[in-house]
Amino acid sequence: MNKKILIAPSILAGDFVNMERSVRLLSEWGADLVHCDVMDGVYVPNITFGMPMIRAIKKITTLPLDVHLMITKPERYVEEFADAGADIITFHPEASKNPIETISLIKAKGKKAGIVINAKVPIEPYLYLLDYIDMILIMSVNAGYGGQKFIPDSLDKVKIAKKYIDENKLNVDIQIDGGITEDNVALAKESGANVIVAGSAVYKANNPKKTIENLRK
């Protein structure tokens, strides 16, 4: 099944002094989702923002909030992120005590749930989780920072996920995140990704609207 291509710019590359403008521009530019990178300084070395930011952003956009939790023990916070306004919540399964239970907590809030496979994490042990989720995010950089270089090997994991999804006739989106540009996006889509995260490529573009169009086509 070929799914619709969705573009999810990461606000990590936006202007933290004027986040309202950075978020509002995304609708003008034709983005589909707002990708929010939550980092806790434990699962990854970097710290970004938490629930208050999600709550604030929810008030100023009608675009769905795609919240990528790079935090340890995500089960502690998924309900709070759902209440804050997250529409999709993804977490790293190796950081969770019981991924199935974490997925259930998200689903019980009526939100879409997903898992994230970090660059150094193998996908095979987590394929069984595809039966329970709405989206799988394959990292194409090591989670932690924006503006890193795309790791081509990550495409193999996209293909493995796509094969499992097709063979089992599941309705699961495949998202790719990290170092995506207008030059490598075709490879990601050919491999099976249909939700495209792009931080630097969108926010640092001369013509972000055009860039989003190019990422989509």
User: Which residues are marked as active site?
Assistant: 37, 177
Q: What is the nearest approach in angstroms of ligand DX5 to the Cβ of residue 7?
A: 11
Q: What is the nearest approach in angstroms of ligand DX5 to the Cβ of residue 166?
A: 26
φ, ψ of residue 175 in degrees (nearest 5): -105, 145
**Of the candidate residues 14, 85, 114, 144, the single one contacting ligand DX5 (CB under 6 A):** 144
Stretch 167-206 residues interacting with Zn ion (CB under 5 A): 177
Q: Which two tokens stand for residue 67?
A: 């919240």
User: Closest CB to Zn ion among 36 and 172?
Assistant: 36
CA distance 75 to 129: 16
User: Closest CB to ligand DX5 among 27 and 200?
Assistant: 200
The SS3 call for residue 133 is coil
Sole window of 30-38, 47-55, 81-89, 208-216 interacting with Zn ion (rule: CB under 5 A)? 30-38
Does 212 sit near ligand DX5 (CB under 6 A)? no
Sheet holding 195-198, edge to edge: 6-9, 195-198, 173-177, 135-139, 112-117, 88-91, 65-70, 34-39
Does 37 sit near Zn ion (CB under 5 A)? yes
Does 66 sit near Zn ion (CB under 5 A)? no
Bridge pairing between strands 6-9 and 34-39: unpaired
User: Closest CB to ligand DX5 among 64 and 178?
Assistant: 178
Does 32 sit near ligand DX5 (CB under 6 A)? no
Does 199 sit near ligand DX5 (CB under 6 A)? yes
Q: What, of Zn ion, ligand DX5, none, does residue 99 touch, CB below 5 to 8 Å by kind?
A: none
Q: What, of ligand DX5, Zn ion, none, does residue 146 touch, CB below 5 to 8 Å by kind?
A: ligand DX5
**Of the candidate residues 143, 160, 195, 196, the single one contacting ligand DX5 (CB under 6 A):** 143
Q: Which two tokens stand for residue 96?
A: 């969770």
HEC-encoded secondary structure of 57-107: HHCCCCCCEEEEEECCCHHHCHHHHHHHCCCEEEECHHHCCCHHHHHHHHH
**Of the candidate residues 68, 92, 157, 189, the single one contacting Zn ion (CB under 5 A):** 68
Which residue has the closest beta carbon to ligand DX5?
A: 199
Rg (CA), the chain: 16
Q: Which of 190, 112, 185, 180 is nearest to 148 (CA)?
A: 180
Q: Could you list the residues that contact Zn ion (CB under 5 A)? A: 37, 68, 177
